[in-house]
Amino acid sequence: MTGPRVALGRRAALATGAGLLTGALATPHVARAQARRELRIADTTAIHEMPVYAFPEYIGPQYTIRQINLGAAGTSILAAMMNGMCDVMSTANSYLVTARAEGARLVPVCGVAGKGQAIVSRDDRGIRTLEDLRGKKLVTKRLTSSHVMLQTTLKAVGIDPLKDVEITDIGQPAGFNLMLERGQADAGQLWEPFVSIAAARPGLRKLELDRFFALNWRTHSSLFVTQKMVDEQPGVIRDLITANIKTIQAVRADRAKYLAIVTNRVGQPPEILNAAIDNCDPRVEMDATAFYRMAEEMFALGMVRNDVAADLENHINYQLLSEVTGRTPAELGYVSYADYKAGKRALIT
């Protein structure tokens, strides 16, 4: 089953017909359009973050949405946010660590999704469990959330990622499939849809998917804004959170809607896109312990210059999400850093 290939926001193109109206009729229309607040939302081609493309349907008439796709990795989005090129970004939680380590005052205000990642292995390399990755040649996109997650997975099963495996950078995400198909790597980790594209090839499969997520974290991506926006425009943030919740509810309730969104932006057949959607979990929660684990791992790997793990709990905003949902911060994933170090985990399931 495939969805329409017409972008959701394309109705705005009809506004070009306004030139056919008389000046007397057009002037009020222009005044109303100018009064609407434009929100620039940046995202990647990661399928688990694509529900944000439904924002124009749910944000409310006082806003216009300009959606900016900045490629397959979140590094470009982070640079755009830090340079004021967008107002909101949807990306992996690891980029909060990068931002805070560089002194950028970015804040997650609502979860977007969990899952959306996988380790894919070759059947002919004797890999049946995560422990079988020891001694293998692995590939990923370095310095991304996939890289961090791969490292935490290896450590969780007793494999030293610096000594017991060889990890190679794929360059562009398309290189992931090529290196696995050609036998230049034994296994690797990346995000959807690339892992579903790879797993559709003969002799390749996703490895111990349920166990993989159990060893890592349940929430992976969030909606980010600047602290300045939180301080000065909390009403706008509440509207963003409300729209985000509605989009998540919509795609969870309507598989065809989700498929239509991703089909419109990813040139793959429906069987691959459905497999990718099966591996995505749109949700509003933000597991604080996932942020802490990412920060610790990224610092240990030298991916960031400063250890910001202990400071992150001050920069994950649960207040506005709690106000909108009526749920407590703990129910939304909050755990203090001290409690995390004492072994406590988030209440979310």
In whole angstroms, give the CA distance from residue 262 to residue 49: 10
Give the per-residue SS3 of the chain.
Answer: CCCCCCCHHHHHHHHHHHHHCCHHHHHHHHHHHHHCEEEEEEECCCHHHHHHHHHHHHCCCCEEEEEEECCCCHHHHHHHHHCCCCCEEEEECHHHHHHHHCCCCEEEEEEEEEECEEEEEEHHHCCCCHHHHCCCEEEECCCCHHHHHHHHHHHHCCCCCCCCCEEEECCCCHHHHHHHHCCCCCEEEEECCHHHHHHCCCCEEECCHHHHHHCCCCCCEEEEEEHHHHHHCHHHHHHHHHHHHHHHHHHHHCHHHHHHHHHCCCCCCHHHHHHHHHCEEECCCCCHHHHHHHHHHHHHCCCCCCCCHHHHHHHCCCHHHHHHHCCCCCCCCCCCHHHHHCCCCCCCC
Residues 102 and 123 in one domain: no
83 in a domain, yes or no? yes
Residue 73: band (very low, low, confident or very high) from pLDDT cuts 50, 70, 90 = low
pLDDT at 76: 75
pLDDT digits (tens, 9 = 90+) for 83-114: 888 999 988 899 899 999 888 899 999 999 99
Give the end of a domain, one of 214, 237, 267: 214
CATH of the domain at 143: 3.40.190.10
Residues 172 and 224 in one domain: no
Q: Identify which has the larger pLDDT, 35 or 218.
A: 218
Strands 88-92 and 37-43: parallel
In whole angstroms, give the CA distance from residue 230 to residue 124: 51
Neighbours of 138 (CB within 10 A): 20
Residues 122 and 166 in one domain: yes
Contact of 70 with 44, CB cutoff 8 Å:
yes
77 in a domain, yes or no? yes
Residue 185: band (very low, low, confident or very high) from pLDDT cuts 50, 70, 90 = very high
Residue 114: beta bridge partners?
Answer: 281
Give the end of a domain, one of 214, 243, 270: 214
Contact of 247 with 279, CB cutoff 8 Å:
no
Region of poorest pLDDT, from 55-69, 77-91, 209-223, 301-315: 77-91
Residues 202 and 80 in one domain: no
Q: Which domain holds residue 195?
A: 117-214
Cα torsion 306, 311, 313, 319: sign: negative
Q: The tokens 């929430």 sit on which residue?
A: 219
Ramachandran angles phi, psi of 221, nearest 5°: -130, 155
348 in a domain, yes or no? no
Residues 146 and 288 in one domain: no
Residues 279 and 335 in one domain: yes
Q: How many domains does the chain have?
A: 2
Q: Identify which has the larger pLDDT, 56 or 329.
A: 329
Give the end of a domain, one of 194, 214, 234: 214
Residues 67 and 178 in one domain: no
Contact of 97 with 294, CB cutoff 8 Å:
yes
Residues 74 and 42 in one domain: yes
pTM equals 0.85
3 in a domain, yes or no? no
346 in a domain, yes or no? no
Region of poorest pLDDT, from 73-87, 107-121, 239-253, 269-283: 73-87
Residues 198 and 319 in one domain: no
173 in a domain, yes or no? yes
94 in a domain, yes or no? yes
Cα torsion 101, 102, 103, 105: sign: negative
Residues 263 and 327 in one domain: yes
pLDDT at 71: 67
Residues 96 and 132 in one domain: no
pLDDT at 190 over 50: yes
pLDDT at 9 over 70: no
First CA to last CA across the chain, in angstroms?
Answer: 30
In whole angstroms, give the CA distance from residue 198 to residue 204: 7
In whole angstroms, give the CA distance from residue 105 to residue 86: 14
2 in a domain, yes or no? no
